[in-house]
Each structure stands twice: as C-alpha cells, then as structure tokens.
Amino acid sequence: MYQFTETDCYYFGQATHYDIYKKMGAHFRTVQGQKGVCFTVWAPHAREVYVIGEFNGWNEHANRMERVKPEEMGVYETFIPDVKEGQLYKYLIISDTGEYLYKADPYASYAEMRPGTASAVADTEHFKWTDGVWMKKRDSMTQEELLTKPMAIYECHPGSWMRHPGRMDDGFYSYRELAKTLIDYVCEMGYTHIELMGISEYPFDGSWGYQVTGYYAPTSRYGTPADFAYFVNECHKKKIGVILDWVPAHFPKDAHGLANFDGHPLYEYADPRKGEHPDWGTKIFDYGKNEVKNFLIGSALMWVDNYHIDGLRVDAVASMLYLNYGKQDGQWVPNKYGGKENLEAIEFFKHINTLITGRYPGVAMIAEESTAWPNVTGSAEKDGLNFTYKWNMGWMHDFIDYMKLDPYFRKDNHNKMTFAMSYNYAENYILVLSHDEVVHLKCSMLRKMSGLEGDKFRNLMAGYAFMMGHSGKKLLFMGQEFAQAEEWSEKRELDWYLLDNPNHKKVQDWMKELLHIYKGNRCLYEQDNNWNGFEWINADDAERSIFSFIRKSKDGKNNLIFVINFTPMERTDYRLGVPVKKNYKLILNSEDPKFGGSDTNRPTTYKAQESPCDGQPYSIPYSLPPFGVAVFKFSYI
C-alpha cells in the first residue's frame, strides 16, 4: 500500500532482499502530502496486527495494519501521520487463536531504555558522516590485502570500561563521551581496532549483549542511533576500525521479543529439538526459512552499510554448525544424511560471508568457532565458510594452561607454546585473550600467573610479548593491558586506580610499547598466514623454557627476533643463534628501567659472531634475565 511491494515480497521470500532494513520497521515517509511514519512487520500466522504507541495513546485498535500482496507472505503495513522521532511503539499481534501478543519491532532502529521493552521511532537515514577518507581506503581494499594489514583489537564492554561516579543512574558513559575518552585511550595505547560488546539492543545487562532482542538497534544504554554513528565516525577519523559482536546463533524468550512472534514459532525452528538451546534457555534461529535468513543478513548489512562498521565478530559459530551442540541424545535431530552438521547454517554462513566480503572487501567477518571444524576461513568455492578470520581458541587454551604453570613444570609442557604453529596456516587466525577468559571464577590474567606478586607481573609481561610476536592478529580484553587484578564484571568500571601502583603501570607501558612495535614493523602482520613470515630459531629449548623465533617481512629488510625466558632463572651464558652476519639492534628489553628493570648499561647493538648456534650459522651472546624478553631488529639485505 505504502512502500512494501510485491517485488519486495519476492526478494524477501528468496532471502535476497539486501536492503530489507530500509523497508521493514518504522520509517519516516510522506504519503499524499502528509508526513508520518510507515510501519511494516512480518507476521504470517497473525489474524490481525495493530500499531500501538505514544502517538495514539496506546489505543489497541486505533491503527490497524493491512496485509500487502501477495497476502500469503504475511507482511503487514500501515502509515500513521504526525508520528514524531523518539516516540515509543509496539505491535499488537492477535494470533490465529485469539491471543493478544505485545511485541517490539524486530526491525526497530531504536528501543526504549531497559527495563522498558518498547521500540522507538528514529531517523537513521540522515547521519552526517565525515569519514570519507577512511571509507574510501577501506572499500578499495581486497580481502587478500586486509590479511596483510595490522590488527590489534581492544575488546571493550562500553558500560563497564569507565563510569561516572556518584550518579543516580547507571553512570554509563554515552557514545559521545566514549568518543572523547575511549578512542583517545585506544589511539595512545597503539591498538588498531575496537571490538564493542553489547551494541545490538538487549534486555538483561547480565547477558553482556549476547541475548539480543534488537538486531537493528544500537542499545539505548549509551544514547541514540545518531550518537552511535558519531562514535564510529570519530573512530574512523582517528584511524581506528570498529568491530561489533553479532549474535545470529540464538535469541532470548522474552515476551516482547522474537520468540513465538505471531503466536507460532516464526524466527525459531518449530521442533524444540532444533529450536532451543537447553543449556542457555534460548531459541535457535530457523536457518532453513528464507525470511529468517533475510532478517539476519539484513541486520549484518545494516551495521556495515548504515553504521560503517568494519567487521562483525560472529558469536557462537560452533553452536550453529552442530545440531547436537550442548545437547544430549534425544535432544537433537540429525540432518537428512544422518549427521550432526546443520546443513542450513552452513549454507547461511556461505551466503552471508560471500555477500558481505564481496560487497565490502575491506570488512572482516570473524568467527568465534571453538572446534576443529575445517576450512572456516576457506573460500565457499572450496566448501569453506568464507570467514575472513577465525578466533584461535586452541592457541588461547594452550597459552593460558602454560602460563598458569609453576615455571618448574613448564619444561614438561613446552609443546603447549609451539603446537599452534603446526596448524597456523590452516586458517587465518586471531590470537585472543577475550572477556570469556577473565569471568566466571577464571581469574584475571594477572591472577592466573604463578609465583609471588612480582613474578606474576613479569610472567604476564613475558606472555604478552610471546603473543604479540606470534603469527596471527591480536585481541586483548579491556583491563588486561594494565593487569586488572579482579575478574571482570559488567556491574562496575575497570579498576583504573591500579595505575597508581608502579607494577600495574609498567605492564600498561609494556603493552603500549609492544603495540607500537607491532604496528611499526610490517614483519609482524604482513605474512601472518604463511611460513615465509615465521621461523623458529629454537623451539626445543624445553629444559630452560626459552623460546626464540624470527618474524620476517616480504622484502627481507624489516625483521624481528623475539627471545623470551619463561623461568625466574637468569641465563648469563645464553647465546642466540642468528641467520646473517649483520648488526642486531635491541629495540625492546624487559629489564629497561622504564619497565621497572635495572639495566642501565646494556648495549643496544650486537654484531653477529661466526659461532654457530641453534642451527643458525652465527650467534650473539646475550645475558638473559629472569622472565627476560629481548626483541632485536635486523635486515637480511
């Protein structure tokens, strides 16, 4: 009648209406000279649908919606004059059994601040973007070029990064306040990207944003859609990419949400053995239904297109790929071949990843995939899922297991730190130390470390150096860069007062130095996914728990050697094997006074000697301190 045509219905039914967010939901329009809002919703099982809201006094029968043609598609639409920005509304859906359901708009651009559950009218079509330089550079990049760029991600929960003290409300920083504080901090530290948790609207703070009710709406906790766009715009102006957590795996059962939306399972599988996560108490999207796939694809495209988002980290991919994920026998249904793979979810991933990386080749699709599913970042043409990156959960578990050990026992677990390189080139990996590792009694990164208090800090510094030197992009959760002592909680801000303690400040300074070294040396990122970029010098020094390796640039001119001692033993007789008879410049030394050390007379340049060591033709002597880290720069040319 007003905007949703038969052509729209056709493409929606094929899961290829890629501008669906411009048609579904609430949009300002002028109809026959009258300004107002057009409301459109999909509810095929409904007997009747009404729009109720502040503009009609929540009168349940004031604004009846009409089915658009073809009527069997089940799309309803109406136009209401004089609706204003910010006004709240819901859909009253009368089911085929006469039940009254009061639902938020699945395609809403904005939502009422929790605990309210209504949707809100918002104009998201007239943001004033000034990030043209960033977008032009991003959109001219290929996926292959993206893999050769630095990526050091600061994973952040905006509501608990920092808070206003003494306020009667939650004390949240707004999107605009975060644009002045968080972005400057990330820039100063040397990160390249911010990954934001909990931006898609959600009702319960304790879910951290992983039980979403508003897949098209930036959460109102921190401001309006325009405020969020301003934050992204400011990130781009300061050359920081923005990644969002995105959750197509499941959704909550809240009465105002997607569950049994029109009185029947609509967005979820009808069979509870396929449509529910027994452990999580949530619903599973029906990936075999085109309109549901289009809903999810449209959400992803909306964030990338409308809000200029540079990457989506897709949560809980394994739970989508396996029909038996988190389920006991009798709780799941095999696929048509009798297997446990969700064939519809596999097709969905190939569709959405190929679409987004094809349309926006400078945008990253990132899989949080916790199993050994093959070819996650492989091309769809070769039966891969076509993600850009995969979180390396195996590396993370091995790394943490090793770092938690008393140094005496590390010699017997040496392979935990070397094993990841044996499969490193199977996928395009991101090394992650995420929020999941510092909650639920898992302790902070600092508290995982063994030893007395001083050794805990030195252990952590050594571990971070290993991570930053290792092949793969990087992600570190907020607070761990300054050795947050307590587990993370969404209920309070980080313990910034710890920076008054010299031990915490030196970890922050150390991480800052590592990040700037990472960004400033292309050998650390341009060949992450092939053996040309990494070479072990000595991967087998288990008795001393020392690791040494080379990171190489394509042209051979920019190369770094990392040496890391994971015991409290000083190695005064240590000798490092090196590949060429050149000078080696010491660019990072953990015993530098600026990191709390006592080295004041150590040389900064070392000349290779004709003394073979570690299988290398040359070597340099270097007295390696307890938990010592040394990084040398050299050229093959």
What residues are labeled active site? 315, 368
User: Residue type at 477?
Assistant: F
Helices (H) and strands (E) in the chain, counts: 16, 29
Q: What order of strands is seen across the sheet that includes strand 75-81?
A: 25-31, 34-42, 75-81, 66-67
Q: What is the DSSP string of 530-590?
A: SGGGEEEEES--TTTTEEEEEE--TTSSSEEEEEEE-SS--BTT-EEEESSSSEEEEEEET
> Are 119 and 40 contacting, i.e. CB atoms less than 8 angstroms apart?
no
User: Distance (Å, rounded) from C-alpha 184 to C-alpha 239?
Assistant: 11
Radius of gyration of the chain, Cα coordinates, nearest whole angstrom: 27
Tally of CB atoms within 10 A around 518: 22
81 vs 88: CA distance, rounded Å: 15
Which of 512, 310, 321, 543 minimizes the C-alpha distance to 412?
543
What sign has the CA pseudo-torsion 202, 218, 11, 22?
A: positive
- How many C-alpha atoms does 449 have within 13 Å on its Cβ side? 25
CB of 227 closer than 8 Å to CB of 172:
no
The Cα–Cα gap between 435 and 448 comes to 14
Nearest C-alpha neighbor of 143 from the set 379, 369, 478: 379
Q: Which residue, 197, 188, 316, 321, is CA-closest to 249?
A: 316
CA neighbor of 241 nearest in space, from 325, 148, 151, 375:
151
Structure token pair of residue 207: 């879910």
Residue 108: count other Cβ atoms within 10 Å of its Cβ. 25
Report how far residue 305's alpha carbon sits from residue 328's, in angstroms, rounded to the nearest whole number: 40
Instruction: State the distance between the two ends of the chain, measured CA to CA, in whole angstroms.
Output: 70
Are 101 and 95 in contact by the 8 Å Cβ rule? The answer is: yes
Nearest 5 degrees, angle CA 389-CA 426-CA 562? Answer: 85
Cα gap 582→577, rounded to integer Å: 12
Pick left, alpha or beta for residue 492 (phi over 0 → left; psi -120 to 50 → alpha; otherwise beta).
beta
Tokens describing residue 296: 């999810």
Nearest to 22 by CA among 126, 129, 124: 124
Interaxial angle between packed helices 453-469 and 502-520, expressed in degrees from 0 to 180 and rounded to the nearest 10: 10
3-class SS of residue 165: coil
287: amino acid identity, one letter: Y
Give one word for 556, left, alpha or beta, with left for phi > 0 and alpha for psi -120 to 50. Answer: left
Amino acid at the residue 406? D
DSSP classification of residue 291? H
